[in-house]
Structures are given as C-alpha cells and as structure tokens.
A and B are shown apart, each in its own frame.
Chain A
Amino acid sequence: MKLKTILLGAGATLALAPAALAERGADGHVNVIYSQAPSIMNPYLSSGTKDIEAASLVIEPLIRYDETGAMLPWLVEEVPTLENGGVSEDLMTITYKIKPGLKWSDGTDFTAEDVAFTAEYCMHPEGGCAQLAKFEGVSSVEAVDPLTVKITFSEPKPFPYGPFSGGQGPVIQKAQFAECLGARAPECTDANFMPVGTGPFKVDEFRPNDVISLSANPEYRDPAKPAFATMTFKGGGDAAAAARSVLETGEFDYAWNTQLAPEVLAEMLKGGKGQLVNAFGTLVERIEINMTDPSPSLPEGERSTAAHPHPILSDIRVRQALSMAIDRQLLSDVGYGEAGRPTCNLVPAPEMYASTDNTGCLTWDMEGAKALLEEAGWTDTDGDGIRDKDGMKLSLLYQTSTNAVRQDFQAIIKQWWTELGVETELKNVDGSVFFGGDPGSPDTFQKFYADVEMYANNFDGTDPESYLAMYTCDKAPKPETQWQGENINRFCDPEYDALIAELGKTGELEQRGEIAKRLNDMLTKDSMVIIPLVDRGRLSAHSNTLGGVVLNTWDSELWNAADWYRIK
C-alpha cells in the first residue's frame, strides 16, 4: 500500500517536470549502480541485460517500446504499419523513414547506410551475433536513399518489427565498425567499449566489469537534454549493497534490480534517501513438469527422453493436484512483495495476449488436491505419510538454481507437497551450471534429470510467438541434439504444433491474440505441464532527488535517461 502511494507521488512529480527551463548538462553528475557489471557496450556480442542496458545510454534502435509496451518511433518519423503503407500488403517488406538531421556523437550524419550496415554486421555468418534471432527471415536490408531503409523478408512476416527495435536492436555506426565484420569482431576493442552513438550520452572511459564514465552527447537531437553533464555507471556487488547505496547512504541515484525480501526493503526505505519503483513485464516464475522418466536406473541416453514417459507425472491428475496444493498469493508475498503477483498464465502480458479466464489455480485447495490424488489411485497404504500406488512411492526430485528466494520457495512448496502426501527431495544447482547447457553435466535445466524444476523466463518485446513456439514436439532436448532445445518439459501435442503454425501465418493482431491465449491455456490449465507461480515485476530504486524515472520492462530500463533531471 505504502509503495503504491510512493509510486503515485513519483508520477505526480513527473507531470510537473520543468521542461522548458532545462539546459543540457545543467544538473551536473548522476550515479547509477548495477549489481552486475557490464562487460561490453555492444549488444550484438553479448545479450546480457547489464550490457544491453548500459549500451542503451549510447546507441539507440529505430523503434522503442514505452512503459505500456506500445511502440514509439525513436529514430524514425513513424512506426510503419499496414495502414500507413510502411508494411507492404504481402507482409514481405517494411520501410522505415529516418528522422532528418540526426547526428552521431562524432558529428557525422546518421544515414540509412548505417542501418543497413548494422544488419550486415549481425547477419555475418562468422560473427556469432547474439541478436541473430531478431533477424530471422530477413533476406535483405537496403538503404533506398539516405533517409529510407527497406527490409525484405524471405517469406511473409506477420510481425516485422524484430530488427532495430528495443534495447536489443540498436544501430551502430558504419564508419566505426566497418573493419569489425565477422571473425574480426573481437579485435575492435575500442569500438566495442566506446561505440559512437546517437543516444544522450557518450562513453569517456570503459572499464570492463567495473565502471563506465559517460558524458552528455554534444550532438544529441534535443539541445536541452540530457540534464546531466556526466554519469558514472558502477557495476558489481549484490542487490542488497546496490539498494543500500541508494536508499540508505545516498551515494548513488539509481539502482537496478533491487530484488530483496520485502521486509528488508521496508527497513532500507526508512533511511529516507530514496524510493522504489516497480513495473510488470512478462517474467514468470514457474515449475516445469518433466513428462519423461528421469530415473537414474535408465541407461544414459534414455534418461529424460520421450522413450520413457514419466511413471508418476504422466497422469494429469497428479500434475493438477501438485498445482492445487500451492498457495501462490503467499509465495508471491513472501518472495517478492509488491514486485510480484500470483499468476496462472505463461504469458501474463501484454493485455491483448494474456488469457483472462485462466484464474482457477489462484485458489489454494489442499483438500481438493488430496481428493484428486485419491481418485488417481495414490493412497497411503503403509501409513508412513507418503502416498503410493502399485508399490511405487509418490516421491519427486525438485531442482532449481541457487538463489535465496528460490530456496525459500522450495522449502515452502515442499511443506505443502509433504502435507499432500508427496515426498519431495530438494536440490539446488549453481546458476552457471544449471543454465549453462553443457551436455556433459547432469545438472543442466535442459537435461532435466529431475521430476520438476523451477526457474523464470520471459520474452523480448511484446510479441510472444517465438516464446510459445518453444513448446513444439521437435524442440525437446535430447541426446541427439546435444541436449539443446527449448521444450524443457518434452511436452508434445500435434494440436499445439498445428496452432503454432497457424500463428506464424496470421497477421491480424486481434486474431494473433486469440491464438496466443489458446496456446497459453493448452500449456497451463488444460494440460498442467507448466505450473506458473508468480508474475515477477522489476523493482528498482532511485534517490528522492532524481526526477524523470519511468520504469519500463518492455525495453531498456534506462530508455529515457535523456529525460532524467535533478529535483532541487
């Protein structure tokens, strides 16, 4: 409640921002802290959030998303659509009109050539571009004239805004990167650390994995912005230290991702130096169910593969009961406070894609869950408190990555499942191994040598097509593909695959929304292979004297750093 009033207060001060009086650099210095330190300023070589957000201060995309997820023309005149003719009728091309008069921070003109070069840079076969997926289906990007750029796709593209949008798609300068194509990319240390950009700031010094010193871009398109002449962007440490430096000691003005226990944050807020901002995106903490048998008694190569269905969890009633025994509201309150809300959806936002009638899991129903297990034939015949059936115990291995909140969730859920009569063994794995995908390690989340596992995932931008397409039959991780694959559950339903194919052909937005909702329901309430728990918001902190902060989960958090100012 208290946090909400603070948020409203922040909105009010924003409305009163003295726009006309501002002058570039008038507000001096601003300090930003990220608990993870940026390694590079080139999002095409690293897709780490820290790197993308640091780079967003300097280099910019053609289109940004605002805090509601709506597209904003950023370096272009307008967002091309079918209606305004920017997108061709056959969905094969999209044409951007660049704003005239844009300049790079070195004083040269920003042209369509730079945009076309950026595409060439990322699509180079030897470059190992981290954002290659954004350019999927692009057959050519050409500069029609200095202010017009045309992207042609190899097949109709219902959602053509992948390239050059959001923090993942900034335009880099051709003159600076011309020698850095393909295998030569790592040789361009200076360009990767200090890219020439069109954004509000330029890099003065870059210390990898430590600190970035920036100053206002003298060529920035709005002569009154940014209000700050210089910025220090410090990285490293942990979320608690970052939050403390803003809320308690006041050394820093903005701290990214201050996700801490709600009571700890409340105590820090008493320091009176700063406030919290939060916003929701598409990040959902969920439990994924293994549909295949991970038993160590199976030979290596057959464990957790479609050859052996899971002996317990193949029964939807068991999956349903596991979900019903979880009180999501309590989990959300304990783990995330104001920055979390219970959800039953895999796609919780944006509004047009989020299923609205999927709320059944929000009621905690322990008795119903017990009844369901009885019905499925799981009863406690030997009186040891653990249900069994045909001589097999209802016993599950529950794994996740190492993280304080996740370990708390594990302990609470284990308690509920034990009450339900399900024996639960917990396991945690270091994040760099769990998410690492090393085919030699038994502990990766893809290999899934456990019965259930918990982690969080989301999608870039606002379109969930590729996110939902992860759950088609052919994307199951298996030994033949070196355990690469995104269909972690090994879920396989031909009807689902057919619907995904239909989504790929549908251009009409309302219809896309309908299909996405049906796909979401098929994975969650209809089949229960994914048990969503909490819709996780982003929580950041800024000092009371920093104005203009608008938290945005659809794009870089620092998307509007040009509008930040000092409240005097």
Chain B
Amino acid sequence: MTETVVPTPQTAPASSQMRDIWRQFRSHRGAMLGLAIFVTILVVVWLGPLVWNTAPTFVDMRSRNQGPSLAHPLGTDQLGRDMLARLMAGGKVSIAVGLTAMGLSILLGTLIGVSAGFFRRLDGVLMRLTDLFLALPLLPLLLVMVMLFREPLSQRFGPETGIFILIVIAIGVTSWMQTARIVRGEVLALKEREFVLAARSIGTSPAKMILRHILPNVLSPIMVSATLGIAAAIITESALSFLGLGFPPDFPTWGRLLYDAVDQIQLFPMRVVMPGIAISLTVLSVNYIGDGLRDALDPRIRGR
C-alpha cells in the first residue's frame, strides 16, 4: 500500500519540507484569498485603532443613532459611541478569544480523542469523562467557575488578563467533547488499516506512530472542528458577558454588538449586519486557510 506517509529523506533539511508545504499552500487560490482577508482583518483590528483613535467607550449623547458620516464612518450607536471604533475594539477581543479558545478546545479534544482511540486501556475512562462533560449543564458550570476562579485569577494576572484567561478556559473546557469523539472514531478505524499494522510490525514506537501516521490522517475533521469552533467561541463569549462572566459591560465584542443591536434591527439594520459580517468573514477566511493547509500538509496531494 502506498498510503504510508512518505518518509522525509534524511539528507533534506526540515526547511525544505516547510517550503514544499508553503508552495502547495500558495497554489491553493481559496487559501490565499482567505489568508489575505484574514490578515486584512487582523491589521484593521490591531493597527486600525492607531489611525482611528476615537475611544470605543466614549459616550456622546448629542450624536446618538447617527448614520455614516465623516466624523463617524460607520455611524454611532444608541449612546453616540463610534461604531467603527467599537467594531475594531470588539474584533480584537473576539478574534483573540475565538482563536485561543478554539486552540485549547482542539488541543484537548485531539489529545483525549487520540489517547482514547489508540490506547484501548484509556478508552473506557476517557470516553466516560467525555460523557460526563457532555452531560453537565453549561450555565451552572460557568457560574461556578466564575465564582471560584474570578477573584484569584484577576489578583494573579490583573483584571483584564485574568478575565481573558477565565473566558478562554471556560469556553475551551466546555467545548472539546465533540472533537474528542470524532477523533477517537477516526483513530479506531485508522488503527486497523494496513499501513498502521505494517508500521507496528516493524516496531515503530507509539509516539512516532501517532505523530507520523495517525495525526496527519485525522487532520481534516480536526480542521472542520476548528473552523466551526471559532464561530462558536465568538458567540459563546457574548453569552458569557451576559452572565456577568465576561469583560466589563462597556467593553465591546462582536458577539455583544450583534446581540445588543437585534432589537433595533428594523431601525438600524446596519448595526446588526456589520458585526455579523465581521464574524462570518473571519470564519470563512479561517475555513479556506484550513482547506489550503490540509491540502498542503497532505503528502498524497503535495507530491502531485
């Protein structure tokens, strides 16, 4: 069978493999477009506030509910706060939370899924743990986490970093289960494939086996989970701030902007549409980057 990952020739330096991956990635049109959009979003969100330095929390009661103008390119909200500044500030938080929380949840999910699927002895325990986490009611769990950890964390890391850590952990710890179940299912099937059996028969160590043969082959469902995970994390973050778990109430995030504006959808549709577009665009671009990355990492395609 040729399904085995082609071993990297000993002579070639690691950087040439990276170059191969990059070359393959570049040839993927969707991925390049996705990357361009994602970088643009990052630049606007991180560097934009340096150019457009209106404070996102500045209340100006004389210019409430205004449409786009020179002073406010995207208009103002019900308290006269500048929407452009709010979208940029919100994006910073939402993207940071979305990416880190997704990263944590994918990491946990993959780790638990692979361990459960590969090592039969761990399967029972880890999967019952997954069942437990799936069954726990989310809201009380989050409330308990805030009650126990908010003060220690904000004393240790300062209020903003403390809350950021709390939110990322809260989302990560409550969303890894689906990835774990999916990865485990795939690993169970992969384990019995010929190339894995072959690798095992020549005495490959479990660690090497997982890294070389198992992980590359479960990459695509992980990528899908990751893309969906970002969207879910951004929305969950806004739900958390309503419980008083998240950032202070005047701190904008995309999910929160969206939620706050839903009541005014008929009057000021732009106010709902803008954060909606921002979230969708981010998720779409990450999705295409993921597509390209998976293709680039797949030796079967890269070779051709």
Contact = CB atoms under 8 A, between A and B. Distances in A.
Q: Tell me if chains A and B make direct contact, with any CB pair below 8 A.
A: yes
B260 interface: yes
A430 B143 contact: yes
A428 B249 contact: yes
Interface string B250-283: 1000000000100110110000000000000000
B64 to A, nearest CB: 8
Contacts, number: 75
A412 B147 CA distance: 28
Interface in A289-347: 296, 330, 334
B79 interface: yes
B249 A261 contact: no
B243 A402 contact: yes
B61 interface: yes
A412 B62 CA distance: 12
B244 A402 contact: yes
Contact of A264 (B61, B147, B243, B267): B267
Contact of A263 (B57, B250, B267): B267
B188 interface: no
A426 B248 CA distance: 6
B143 A261 contact: no
Contact of A407 (B147, B151, B249, B264): B249
Given A433-B244, A440-B147, A261 B79 contact: no
Interface residues of A, number: 30
A362 interface: no
Given A261-B263, A261-B264, A267-B266, A442 B147 contact: yes
Nearest to B243: A430
Interface of B: 57-59, 61, 64-65, 78-79, 81, 143, 147, 151, 155, 159, 241-244, 248-250, 260, 263-264, 266-267
Nearest to B155: A296
Contacts of A440: 147
B244 A429 contact: yes
A411 B151 contact: no
Interface of A: 240, 260-261, 263-264, 267, 296, 330, 334, 402, 404, 407-408, 410-412, 414-415, 425-430, 433-434, 440-443
A402 B159 CA distance: 19
B267 A426 contact: no
29 contacts: A240-B263, A261-B264, A264-B263, A264-B267, A267-B266, A267-B267, A296-B155, A334-B64, A402-B243, A402-B244, A402-B249, A404-B263, A408-B78, A408-B79, A410-B250, A411-B59, A412-B61, A414-B250, A425-B248, A426-B248, A427-B244, A427-B249, A428-B241, A429-B244, A430-B242, A430-B243, A433-B143, A434-B244, A442-B151
The interface centre, meaning the residue of A402, A407, A443 with most chain B CB atoms within 10 A of its CB, is A407
A260 B265 CA distance: 13
Nearest to B264: A264
Contacts of B250: 407, 410-411, 414, 426
Contacts of B242: 402, 430
A430 B267 contact: no
Given A264-B264, A264-B267, A428-B241, 20 more contacts: A260-B263, A261-B264, A263-B65, A267-B266, A296-B151, A334-B61, A404-B263, A407-B249, A408-B78, A408-B79, A410-B250, A411-B79, A415-B59, A425-B248, A426-B249, A427-B244, A430-B243, A430-B244, A434-B244, A441-B147
B244 A443 contact: yes
